[in-house]
Amino acid sequence: MQSKHKLDFEIGKLIERYRLIIGGFLLILIAFLGGYLLWRENYWKPAQADRIMNQEARIGELEDRINELENQKSELANNSTQPVTDVSQPASDAGTVAGAAATVQPTSGKVNINTASAAQLDTLPGIGPAYAGRIIDYRNSHGGFKSIDEIKNVKGIGDKTFEKFRDKITI
């Protein structure tokens, strides 16, 4: 027990004897680490500003793309409800409903996924404006659907969604 007490006493003497050196070392260490933190803060700020500017530019591009898509959507909606005027048609037919042929729907009431507008696709259960746009994009990029099952290749339309409107579509 005396050896432990003697060891504690010697460590205490060492700390007492070198307290100025130990304290000075700790102060230098704290000052160095504080300086490093300040340097790092100033070092990373310019890169953060660049990232923010890049994100703001990307947001601007996305907003422009959204506006383009909304314009295309409104044009498609206007085109599907715009009256068709035929110059060769006699004036006696003026009382008929103009544009009846513009929105061709089969008599079965099914929506033709190869010719339907976004508004018509939006009437299908489980299909909203976003999915209608994806269907039209897929149709335009792949040259139309070869079968109704091919609509499941559109991102976000799986088996469950397909089953909701399977009986309401045609090609």
- Percentage of the chain surpassing pLDDT 70? 74
pLDDT tens digit sequence for 35-93: 888 877 766 666 677 778 888 889 989 999 999 998 888 888 777 655 544 444 444 44
Which alpha helices (DSSP H) does the chain contain, by range? Answer: 2-17, 19-81, 118-122, 129-142, 159-165
What pLDDT shows up at residue 101? 39
What pLDDT shows up at residue 107? 46
CA–CA distance, 70 with 78 (Å, rounded to integer): 12
CATH class of 105-170: mainly alpha
Distance of CA 14 to the CA centre of its chain: 65
pLDDT tens digit sequence for 124-134: 988 888 899 99
Give the chain's length: 171
Structural domain boundaries of the chain? 2-81, 105-170
